[in-house]
Structure 1
Amino acid sequence: MSESLRHLNISIMRTAQAVYDYASMPQNFSHWASGLGNGLKQHGDAWTANTDNGQVTIRFSTRNTYGVLDHWVSLPTGQKVYIPLRVIANGEHSELVFTLLRQPDIDDAKFAADAAWVTRDLQRLKDILESA
Protein backbone atom coordinates (compact mmCIF):
# COMPACT_ATOMS: atom_id res chain seq x y z
CA MET A 1 0.00 0.00 0.00
CA SER A 2 1.40 3.36 -0.95
CA GLU A 3 -0.80 6.17 0.33
CA SER A 4 -3.14 6.18 3.31
CA LEU A 5 -5.29 9.11 2.18
CA ARG A 6 -6.06 11.35 -0.76
CA HIS A 7 -7.46 14.86 -0.78
CA LEU A 8 -9.88 15.19 -3.67
CA ASN A 9 -11.02 18.71 -4.40
CA ILE A 10 -13.11 20.56 -6.92
CA SER A 11 -13.64 24.26 -7.54
CA ILE A 12 -17.28 25.34 -7.61
CA MET A 13 -18.36 28.67 -9.07
CA ARG A 14 -20.78 29.35 -6.22
CA THR A 15 -20.24 30.91 -2.82
CA ALA A 16 -19.16 28.67 0.02
CA GLN A 17 -22.46 29.41 1.75
CA ALA A 18 -24.48 28.28 -1.29
CA VAL A 19 -22.44 25.07 -1.55
CA TYR A 20 -22.75 24.42 2.18
CA ASP A 21 -26.49 25.12 2.23
CA TYR A 22 -27.11 22.53 -0.48
CA ALA A 23 -24.54 19.92 0.51
CA SER A 24 -25.40 20.02 4.22
CA MET A 25 -28.93 18.74 3.59
CA PRO A 26 -28.84 14.93 3.80
CA GLN A 27 -31.86 14.62 1.51
CA ASN A 28 -29.75 16.19 -1.29
CA PHE A 29 -27.01 13.56 -1.03
CA SER A 30 -29.00 11.14 -3.20
CA HIS A 31 -28.74 13.67 -6.07
CA TRP A 32 -24.94 13.62 -6.14
CA ALA A 33 -23.35 11.15 -3.69
CA SER A 34 -23.87 7.82 -5.43
CA GLY A 35 -21.59 6.09 -2.92
CA LEU A 36 -24.26 6.45 -0.25
CA GLY A 37 -26.65 4.23 -2.15
CA ASN A 38 -30.35 4.98 -2.53
CA GLY A 39 -33.51 5.12 -0.50
CA LEU A 40 -32.06 7.58 2.02
CA LYS A 41 -34.42 7.79 5.03
CA GLN A 42 -34.18 9.67 8.30
CA HIS A 43 -34.43 7.81 11.61
CA GLY A 44 -34.00 10.30 14.46
CA ASP A 45 -30.53 11.81 14.18
CA ALA A 46 -29.33 9.11 11.77
CA TRP A 47 -30.15 8.20 8.20
CA THR A 48 -30.21 4.84 6.42
CA ALA A 49 -29.59 3.99 2.78
CA ASN A 50 -29.55 0.84 0.69
CA THR A 51 -26.31 -0.13 -1.02
CA ASP A 52 -25.16 -3.12 -3.07
CA ASN A 53 -23.69 -4.51 0.18
CA GLY A 54 -26.81 -3.99 2.31
CA GLN A 55 -28.21 -1.21 4.45
CA VAL A 56 -25.88 1.44 5.87
CA THR A 57 -26.47 3.96 8.64
CA ILE A 58 -25.18 7.50 8.17
CA ARG A 59 -24.63 10.26 10.70
CA PHE A 60 -24.05 13.76 9.39
CA SER A 61 -22.31 16.68 11.07
CA THR A 62 -24.66 19.19 12.63
CA ARG A 63 -24.99 22.51 10.82
CA ASN A 64 -22.05 24.75 11.57
CA THR A 65 -20.38 27.96 10.43
CA TYR A 66 -17.08 26.29 9.53
CA GLY A 67 -18.01 24.50 6.30
CA VAL A 68 -17.66 21.06 7.90
CA LEU A 69 -19.76 18.41 6.14
CA ASP A 70 -18.21 15.32 7.74
CA HIS A 71 -20.25 12.17 7.93
CA TRP A 72 -19.85 8.69 9.36
CA VAL A 73 -21.11 5.57 7.60
CA SER A 74 -21.74 2.33 9.49
CA LEU A 75 -21.50 -0.61 7.10
CA PRO A 76 -23.49 -3.85 7.42
CA THR A 77 -20.24 -5.51 8.61
CA GLY A 78 -20.14 -3.18 11.62
CA GLN A 79 -17.19 -1.23 10.22
CA LYS A 80 -17.51 2.56 10.61
CA VAL A 81 -16.13 4.79 7.87
CA TYR A 82 -15.30 8.43 8.65
CA ILE A 83 -15.66 10.79 5.70
CA PRO A 84 -14.15 14.27 6.16
CA LEU A 85 -15.66 16.83 3.77
CA ARG A 86 -15.07 20.60 3.79
CA VAL A 87 -16.32 23.66 1.93
CA ILE A 88 -13.69 26.40 1.77
CA ALA A 89 -14.45 29.95 0.66
CA ASN A 90 -12.32 31.25 -2.21
CA GLY A 91 -13.61 34.75 -2.86
CA GLU A 92 -16.97 34.51 -4.63
CA HIS A 93 -16.32 30.84 -5.32
CA SER A 94 -15.50 27.81 -3.21
CA GLU A 95 -13.42 24.68 -2.98
CA LEU A 96 -14.93 21.40 -1.85
CA VAL A 97 -12.35 19.05 -0.32
CA PHE A 98 -13.10 15.38 0.31
CA THR A 99 -10.51 13.39 2.25
CA LEU A 100 -10.56 9.77 1.14
CA LEU A 101 -9.10 7.61 3.89
CA ARG A 102 -7.86 4.17 2.84
CA GLN A 103 -9.83 1.49 4.63
CA PRO A 104 -8.22 -1.71 5.95
CA ASP A 105 -7.54 -4.41 3.34
CA ILE A 106 -7.99 -2.01 0.40
CA ASP A 107 -5.34 -2.49 -2.28
CA ASP A 108 -3.97 0.25 -4.53
CA ALA A 109 -6.32 -0.58 -7.42
CA LYS A 110 -9.45 -0.43 -5.25
CA PHE A 111 -8.23 2.78 -3.59
CA ALA A 112 -7.73 4.36 -7.03
CA ALA A 113 -11.20 3.18 -8.10
CA ASP A 114 -12.72 4.68 -4.94
CA ALA A 115 -10.96 7.99 -5.66
CA ALA A 116 -12.32 8.00 -9.23
CA TRP A 117 -15.84 7.31 -7.92
CA VAL A 118 -15.65 10.17 -5.41
CA THR A 119 -14.29 12.49 -8.11
CA ARG A 120 -17.32 11.70 -10.31
CA ASP A 121 -19.65 12.41 -7.38
CA LEU A 122 -17.93 15.75 -6.69
CA GLN A 123 -18.26 16.66 -10.37
CA ARG A 124 -21.97 15.80 -10.22
CA LEU A 125 -22.39 18.13 -7.22
CA LYS A 126 -20.50 20.89 -9.06
CA ASP A 127 -22.74 20.46 -12.12
CA ILE A 128 -25.90 20.66 -9.99
CA LEU A 129 -24.77 23.76 -8.13
CA GLU A 130 -23.42 25.62 -11.14
CA SER A 131 -26.59 25.00 -13.15
CA ALA A 132 -28.84 26.39 -10.40
Structure 2
Amino acid sequence: MNTNSHIQSRHVSRVIDAAPDDVYDVLADPGNLPEWARGLASSEVRRDGADLLVDSPMGEVRVHFVPRNPYRIADHDVTLPSGTTVNNPLRVLAHPNGSEVVFTVRQIELTDDEFERDCAAVADDLERLSDMVERR
Protein backbone atom coordinates (compact mmCIF):
# COMPACT_ATOMS: atom_id res chain seq x y z
CA MET A 1 0.00 0.00 0.00
CA ASN A 2 0.96 3.58 -0.49
CA THR A 3 1.85 4.74 2.99
CA ASN A 4 1.47 8.44 2.14
CA SER A 5 -1.43 10.17 3.86
CA HIS A 6 -2.57 11.66 0.56
CA ILE A 7 -4.04 9.96 -2.48
CA GLN A 8 -2.02 10.48 -5.64
CA SER A 9 -3.88 11.29 -8.88
CA ARG A 10 -2.69 11.32 -12.47
CA HIS A 11 -4.49 12.54 -15.57
CA VAL A 12 -4.06 10.17 -18.49
CA SER A 13 -5.21 11.56 -21.83
CA ARG A 14 -5.44 10.70 -25.50
CA VAL A 15 -6.19 12.91 -28.49
CA ILE A 16 -8.62 11.28 -30.93
CA ASP A 17 -9.19 12.39 -34.52
CA ALA A 18 -13.00 12.53 -34.21
CA ALA A 19 -15.69 14.96 -33.10
CA PRO A 20 -16.21 15.11 -29.31
CA ASP A 21 -19.85 13.97 -29.56
CA ASP A 22 -18.83 10.95 -31.65
CA VAL A 23 -16.21 9.95 -29.08
CA TYR A 24 -18.67 10.45 -26.23
CA ASP A 25 -21.30 8.30 -27.97
CA VAL A 26 -18.88 5.35 -28.08
CA LEU A 27 -17.45 5.96 -24.61
CA ALA A 28 -20.84 6.38 -22.90
CA ASP A 29 -22.34 3.17 -24.33
CA PRO A 30 -21.83 0.44 -21.68
CA GLY A 31 -22.00 -2.26 -24.35
CA ASN A 32 -18.73 -0.95 -25.78
CA LEU A 33 -16.76 -1.27 -22.52
CA PRO A 34 -15.34 -4.77 -23.12
CA GLU A 35 -14.01 -3.68 -26.51
CA TRP A 36 -12.01 -0.68 -25.34
CA ALA A 37 -11.91 -0.61 -21.49
CA ARG A 38 -10.17 -3.93 -20.84
CA GLY A 39 -8.63 -2.54 -17.66
CA LEU A 40 -12.19 -2.43 -16.32
CA ALA A 41 -14.35 -4.90 -18.25
CA SER A 42 -12.92 -8.19 -19.43
CA SER A 43 -16.30 -9.69 -20.38
CA GLU A 44 -19.86 -8.80 -21.26
CA VAL A 45 -21.47 -6.06 -19.18
CA ARG A 46 -24.49 -7.06 -17.07
CA ARG A 47 -27.04 -4.56 -15.80
CA ASP A 48 -28.25 -4.40 -12.20
CA GLY A 49 -30.69 -1.50 -12.08
CA ALA A 50 -28.74 1.67 -12.85
CA ASP A 51 -25.43 -0.12 -12.18
CA LEU A 52 -23.28 -2.33 -14.35
CA LEU A 53 -21.65 -5.54 -13.17
CA VAL A 54 -18.46 -6.48 -14.97
CA ASP A 55 -15.78 -9.09 -14.61
CA SER A 56 -12.56 -7.13 -14.36
CA PRO A 57 -8.93 -8.10 -13.83
CA MET A 58 -9.64 -7.34 -10.11
CA GLY A 59 -12.70 -9.63 -9.94
CA GLU A 60 -16.35 -8.64 -10.26
CA VAL A 61 -16.87 -4.89 -9.85
CA ARG A 62 -19.96 -2.70 -9.78
CA VAL A 63 -19.85 0.39 -12.00
CA HIS A 64 -22.18 3.37 -11.82
CA PHE A 65 -21.89 6.04 -14.54
CA VAL A 66 -23.35 9.53 -14.28
CA PRO A 67 -26.32 9.91 -16.64
CA ARG A 68 -25.56 10.81 -20.26
CA ASN A 69 -25.22 14.56 -20.50
CA PRO A 70 -24.47 17.34 -23.00
CA TYR A 71 -21.14 18.11 -21.30
CA ARG A 72 -19.59 14.79 -22.39
CA ILE A 73 -18.83 13.81 -18.78
CA ALA A 74 -18.63 10.05 -18.18
CA ASP A 75 -17.54 10.03 -14.54
CA HIS A 76 -18.16 6.70 -12.89
CA ASP A 77 -17.82 5.01 -9.53
CA VAL A 78 -16.27 1.57 -9.41
CA THR A 79 -16.95 -0.53 -6.32
CA LEU A 80 -14.04 -2.93 -5.92
CA PRO A 81 -14.32 -6.50 -4.59
CA SER A 82 -12.98 -5.11 -1.26
CA GLY A 83 -16.06 -2.85 -1.01
CA THR A 84 -14.07 0.34 -1.60
CA THR A 85 -15.64 2.70 -4.13
CA VAL A 86 -13.31 4.66 -6.40
CA ASN A 87 -14.60 7.72 -8.26
CA ASN A 88 -13.15 7.94 -11.78
CA PRO A 89 -13.47 11.32 -13.54
CA LEU A 90 -13.68 10.79 -17.31
CA ARG A 91 -14.21 13.62 -19.77
CA VAL A 92 -14.31 14.14 -23.52
CA LEU A 93 -13.02 17.61 -24.38
CA ALA A 94 -12.94 19.49 -27.66
CA HIS A 95 -9.39 19.60 -29.08
CA PRO A 96 -7.94 21.33 -32.17
CA ASN A 97 -7.35 17.85 -33.65
CA GLY A 98 -10.80 16.52 -32.74
CA SER A 99 -11.20 15.37 -29.14
CA GLU A 100 -9.18 14.72 -26.04
CA VAL A 101 -10.28 12.07 -23.57
CA VAL A 102 -9.01 12.69 -20.03
CA PHE A 103 -9.21 9.99 -17.34
CA THR A 104 -8.11 10.71 -13.78
CA VAL A 105 -6.46 7.70 -12.14
CA ARG A 106 -6.32 7.68 -8.36
CA GLN A 107 -4.00 5.62 -6.20
CA ILE A 108 -6.50 3.98 -3.86
CA GLU A 109 -5.59 0.57 -2.41
CA LEU A 110 -2.60 0.38 -4.79
CA THR A 111 1.13 0.19 -4.24
CA ASP A 112 3.24 2.61 -6.25
CA ASP A 113 4.02 -0.17 -8.76
CA GLU A 114 0.33 -1.11 -9.06
CA PHE A 115 -0.54 2.56 -9.59
CA GLU A 116 1.99 2.78 -12.44
CA ARG A 117 0.52 -0.38 -14.00
CA ASP A 118 -3.01 1.02 -13.61
CA CYS A 119 -2.00 4.26 -15.37
CA ALA A 120 -0.41 2.24 -18.18
CA ALA A 121 -3.58 0.12 -18.48
CA VAL A 122 -5.71 3.26 -18.76
CA ALA A 123 -3.38 4.61 -21.47
CA ASP A 124 -3.81 1.28 -23.34
CA ASP A 125 -7.60 1.50 -22.91
CA LEU A 126 -7.65 5.04 -24.34
CA GLU A 127 -5.54 3.88 -27.29
CA ARG A 128 -8.09 1.12 -28.00
CA LEU A 129 -10.91 3.69 -27.68
CA SER A 130 -9.10 5.91 -30.19
CA ASP A 131 -8.69 3.02 -32.65
CA MET A 132 -12.33 2.02 -32.21
CA VAL A 133 -13.68 5.55 -32.81
CA GLU A 134 -11.36 6.33 -35.71
CA ARG A 135 -12.38 3.08 -37.50
CA ARG A 136 -16.05 4.21 -37.54
For 1:107 and 1:8, locate their aligned partners in 2 and report how far apart those are by CA, in whole Å: 18
48-57 or 5-14, which deviates more: 48-57
Is contact 2:37–2:125 with CA below 8 Å preserved after alignment? yes
The correspondence for 2:129, drawn from 100, 104, 125, is 125
| Structure-2 change in CA distance of 1:123 and 1:52 (3 Å) | closer
The question of 1:27 aligning with 2:31 is answered: yes
Q: What are the equivalent positions in structure 2 for 1:78-89 lying under 5 Å apart? A: 78-89=83-94
| 1:120 CA drift (Å) | 0.4
Work out the number of aligned pairs and report it.
131
Q: Gapped runs of 5+ residues in structure 2?
A: none
SS at match of 2:73: coil
1:76-108 deviations in whole A, cap 9, x for unaligned?
Answer: 21111111100001246010000001113x222
Quick check: 1:64 aligned with 2:69?
Answer: yes
Cα 1:12/1:113, change in 2 over 3 Å? same
Residue in 2 that maps onto 1:49: 54
**CA distances 1:39-71 after superposition (whole Å, capped 9, x unpaired):** 311121111012344321110110101110111
**What is the TM-score of this pair, normalised by structure 1?**
0.91
Contact 1:83 1:100 in 2 (8 A): yes
Structure 1 vs Structure 2: percent identity of aligned residues?
36
- The answer to whether residue 95 in structure 2 is matched with residue 115 in structure 1 is no
Deviation for aligned residue 1:113? 0.8
SS of residue paired to 1:14: coil
Distance 2:57 2:20 in 1: 33
> C-alpha root-mean-square deviation of aligned residues, in Å?
1.6
In 2: Cα distance, 1:65 partner to 1:51 partner: 29
TM-score (norm 2): 0.89
Q: Secondary structure at the match of 1:76?
A: coil
In the alignment, is the contact (CA less than 8 A) between 1:40 and 1:47 conserved in 2? yes
